[in-house]
Amino acid sequence: MVLQPPQLFSIVTGSSEPIYRQLVEQVRRLVAGGQLAAGDELPSVREVASMLAVNPMTVSKAYSLLEAEGLLARRRGLGMVVAEQSSAQGSSRERAELLRPTLERAAREARELELDHATVLALFTHILKEPS
C-alpha cells in the first residue's frame, strides 16, 4: 500500500520544531501506532516535498535519519519502505514516549497560563473521551 502524502504528513510552520523533526516524529508515531506496517511504501522525497512545498533536502534528511534508526529501509526500485523489525507495534510504554514532545509543549503552556495540575489533567481526560 502506498500512502498519499496528505494523509501521511502535515507540518506546522513557525514552530520551534524543525520541519525535518516533525516528519521524523510523524513516521515514528505512525509505525508505533500500526498505521504503517512493515513493507509499506512511503511516498518519494519529491512527492512529499512537492505536496508540502518544502525543500526536498528536508524530507531527505528525515528519511535518512529514520533509515539510520532502522525504522525505514531503502529498497531498490521502490524507494523507502517500513523496515521489517519495526512491524511489531511498540509496547504501550514506548508508544506513550512518542507523546512526550507534544505533552511537554502542552505542559509548558499550562505553566504559562498558571493552571493547576488537576484542571489540566481533567481537561486532558475530557479530550481523550471526545470522539475523534
Partner 1 sequence: MTAPIIQMRDVAKYFGGAIVLSSLDWEVRQGQVIGLLGRNGAGKSTLMECLLGLRELDGGSVRLFGEDVAALSDASRARIGYVPQKSNLFEWMTPLQLLDYFKAMYPRWNAVKVDALLERWGFDALMLAKPIGRLSGGEQQRLSIIRALAHDPELLVLDEPVSSLDPAGRRAFLAELVDGVIERGTTVVFSTHILTDLERVALDVAFLKGGRIALQGPLDELLEGARNTLDGRRAEPVSLEDLFIEVTQ
Residue 20 in the binding site for partner 1 (CB under 8 A): yes
Name the segment binding partner 1 (CB under 8 A); options: 29-37, 47-55, 73-81, 122-130: 47-55
Residue 80 in the binding site for partner 1 (CB under 8 A): no
Residue 33 in the binding site for partner 1 (CB under 8 A): no
- 24 grid coordinates: 521524523
SS3 14: coil
Which residue number, 74 or 108, has a Cβ lying nearer to partner 1? 108
Q: Compute CA distances 114 → 16, 84, 94, 111, 122, whole Å.
A: 22, 45, 30, 5, 15
- Minimum Å gap between C-beta 100 and partner 1 is 13
Name the segment binding partner 1 (CB under 8 A); options: 50-58, 64-72, 80-88, 118-126: 50-58
* Terminal C-alpha separation, the chain: 24
Taking alpha carbons only, the member of 12, 88, 107 closest to residue 54 is 12
Query: Which residues of the shown chain bind partner 1 in the complex (CB under 8 A)?
Result: 13-21, 46, 49-50, 52-58, 61, 108
